[in-house]
Amino acid sequence: MLSVTRPTPSHFGIYATDPDLLVAFYTRVFGLTQTDRGQGKTFPVDLIFLSASPDQHHQLVIAGGRPKEATFSTVMQISFVVPSIQSMREIRQSALAAGATKMRGLNHGNALSIYFSDPEGNTVEVYIDTPYYVAQPHGDPLDLDKSDEELMRETEAICRADPTFMPIDEWQARFARSAPIA
């Protein structure tokens, strides 16, 4: 069981016109595992539960019922943290092979991110955290064809040039002092 000390975001659900298409995409690209599937009682649609962790039954729920005539997704973005820049490169290739579109990279200073659209147009972010803080929103181009070392040198230089720069551990300590305790 996940231990938390205050309300903490833990999972999300998205409506799909073709749930099986999205299940195939997220299991293939992110290695998620389908944990359950069934007809919802409160939400009378097909619900498919996916997870990357044995500690959480589901982290993503794909729900049927999105109208085919919907012109855009109301989901702003679905974000996945990964352990390395190399993981981002591998997911980029896998996502493109699985039908992702609109692939782009952004250096947020506090994170290096790629963004793309899944087969139903939902925006997906894949990112790693950096050891830096700069005020957000912040976005410089990110070229994953550069070496890890070059990307991290560029990121540090970009961050240190920003007047809001501080090491992330300093920002985290500041946040901890100001965050409400549950």
User: Tokens in use for 81?
Assistant: 């943290």
Interval 15-72: pLDDT, tens = 999 999 999 999 999 999 999 999 988 778 999 999 998 888 899 999 999 999 988 8
State the pLDDT at residue 2: 55
Q: Give pLDDT, residue 3.
A: 64
The per-residue pLDDT for 176 is 84
Alpha-carbon distance values, 114 to 7, 14, 42, 62, 91 (Å): 28, 20, 35, 22, 9
**Residue-level pLDDT at 24:** 97
**Tokens at 128, concatenated:** 């790693």
Both structure tokens of 72: 């855009």
Q: What is the pTM of this model?
A: 0.86
Is the distance from CB of 124 to CB of 118 less than 8 angstroms? Answer: yes
- Within this chain, domains 10-66 and 73-182 share the same CATH topology: yes
Domain ranges (residues) in the chain: 10-66, 73-182
Q: CA-CA distance, 74 to 111, in Å (whole number)?
A: 24
- Other CB atoms within a 10 A radius of the CB of residue 69 amount to 6
Q: Is the pLDDT of residue 150 over 70?
A: yes
| Third-level CATH fold of 73-182 | 2,3-Dihydroxybiphenyl 1,2-Dioxygenase; domain 1 (3.10.180)
Average pLDDT of the chain is 91
- Phi, psi values for residue 166, rounded to 5°: -160, 155
pLDDT of 123 higher than 90: yes
CA-based nearest residue to 83, from 49, 121, 112: 112
CATH, range 10-66: 3.10.180.10
